[in-house]
Structures are given as C-alpha cells and as structure tokens.
Structure 1
Amino acid sequence: MSAASCLLTEDQFLCSICLDVFTDPVAIPCGHNFCKACISEHWDRNVPSQCPNCKRVFNIKPDPLVNTFISEMAAQFRQSAQQKASSSSSEQHVVKPGEVPCDACTGTRLKALKSCPGVSGVLL
C-alpha cells in the first residue's frame, strides 16, 4: 500500500458537496460517494431525491450505504496529511500583522497557506 499511497491525491477523497475530505462516507445507488451528513441534508432540501453528480432521480429516497473502503482510505489520507503538516510545521509561520490567519488552525494561528474563494472564502 505504501507504494500506491504516493499515487493518491486529496481530490480522490473530497465530497463533491462540501468539497472537504469525506466524513462518514456513504455510497448511493448510482455509485457516487458523499459525506453522510452532506447527502442527507441535500436530499432534505431537494425533492425529488437526486444525485448531485449525475442527476439520477430516485423516486423513493434511498438509504445511503456506508462505504467502508472510502472511509478507511480517507482516514489514512487524513492521517498522512496530518503527519505531513506536522513535519512541515517548521516551514509555517505564526501570523504577523497584515497577514491572513488560517481559518482551520486551532491554538496558535498560522499564516494561511492558500485560499479557496469558491468555498465561502475559507482560508487554509
């Protein structure tokens, strides 16, 4: 697995609704995967229930099935990303006046490394 892990990218573990790494990933009948909370909220707001990706309509709201493979892979990706972030923390800088602080940091606020204007202006 370690040889294959270098081929995995964050994009492969992103929910297309929240655009974040999957949390409690589930699969719906058309085969697309989403965070459980994201697809549930999407279907609560949109009638009839349809896939946000392929637009397949479900006459009866399906029960999303836990996708254990994606769940395990997303957990491994998160762990790898956290290790990588902690090892490169020496390269990160505490926010200085005039710089934008990271919205995701807890504790010491670090300088934002990138911004995502399409996601409610969240800065990371």
Structure 2
Amino acid sequence: MRMRPVLIFDGDCGFCTTSVDLVQRLVRPRCEAVAWQHADLGSLGVAEERARHEALWVTPTGRVYGGAQAVAKVLLSAGGVWSVVGAVLTLPPVRWVAHGAYRLVADNRGRLPGGTPACAVPDATSRHA
C-alpha cells in the first residue's frame, strides 16, 4: 500500500506541467506528483481516458478524485491557509462553480500560456473514433 497520495497530471501539456511545478513550490502539497504518461495507471485504479481528461488525486487507499476536487485535495494536503481554501472548494455551491471553472480551463488549456497542441483535450467524437 502506498503511504502518500498521488497527483496525476498530463505531462505532455506545458500548462499542466508548469501548474504542477508552481503548486509544488508554493503550496507544497503532501503527495507524489506524476505525469499520467509515466504512472502505472492500472495499479492506481485509473483508466487512461480519465487521466487524459482531468487531473486526479489518488489516496493511499485507492479512492480517486478528479478535476476541481483533485485540486481541493491538493490544497487540503498542504495544511495551513491552503487547507481552508481546499475545504471551501468541497462545499456546495462553491464545488459546483469550481467544477465549471476547472472544465473551462481544462478544455482550453491548449490556448493558455505554456499550452501546446498536445494540451488539447480530445472532444467526445475524436475520443470514440
């Protein structure tokens, strides 16, 4: 059994990688951060399609949180004022707004600073082609 949670992100996306690097330096979450491309997704209980779609937080017991809730878990793990922000992100209606904001950013990350064509999340039609 793993002792620390794992934050899974898209290592091919410059925006995602830069964001995770910044969070690790400034927020200092208590986790291991690993690009999904280098993770043993099967042992983590995560499907590749989900890892391509959103950042994931996998607890040592195997529970998986995605998107804005993964961000909340990152903040909660850091302690201090960050944990307060993380806790707020888990509460309705803030959780719902956070989910919408996360999807907006994730779906447009290729257009954000540091983004590249590799950052683009495939749309539903190309995912099932």
Q: TM-score range by the shorter chain?
A: under 0.3
Rg larger in 1 or in 2?
1
Normalised TM-score (structure 2): 0.24
